[in-house]
Amino acid sequence: MQELDIDVTALLDQMSRDLIQKMVDRPNPKMIGIRTGGEWIARELHKRMQLPEELGVIDIAFYRDDFSRIGLNPEIKPSDIPWEVEDQHLILVDDLLYTGRTIRSALNEIFDYGRPASVTLVVLLDRKACRELPLQADVVGMQLACSQKIKATGPDPIKIIISEPVEVTV
């Protein structure tokens, strides 16, 4: 494994600027991070955007479609959405968008809390060519090739680890 030379701080700065601009017509947005990597990214974006409402965090373990195959992760923590979801403009944050299955699980959990007015998807890294479900992010830090295993480590500092060299696309 090796660390990918990505300036995560610069990506987060740009993502927060893009997100502020995107949310200009969506009053009082609320942010939710997907545990664990998405939570780290969400905390950083939440600070940069100076959102007044507390950050929500979800653990999608029980909503995964492969739950019966992979079993229960011993690190499962409860989800915490400290405000009403109904009719809210939500910002859903994850570290990596790969097949789309994590995002589908997150949306299923969110809708169990209520029906939001909108959901804006934000990811640090997008492996677009790997989709199994028709999902795309609204704000992306960087797109990467699909052929490598990638993982975010953190939270302080957040680093991107790969198992082999990765091709960066713009």
Tens-place pLDDT, residues 51-90 = 999 999 999 987 766 554 545 555 778 899 999 999 999 9
Does 109 map to a domain? yes
Q: Domain count of the chain? A: 1
In this prediction the pTM is: 0.86
DSSP calls for 19-77: HHHHTTTS-S-EEEEETTHHHHHHHHHHHHHT-SSPPEEE--GGG-TTHHHH---TT--
Does 131 map to a domain? yes
Q: Give residue 51's domain range.
A: 7-141
Does 150 map to a domain? no
The domain that holds 131 is classified in CATH as 3.40.50.2020
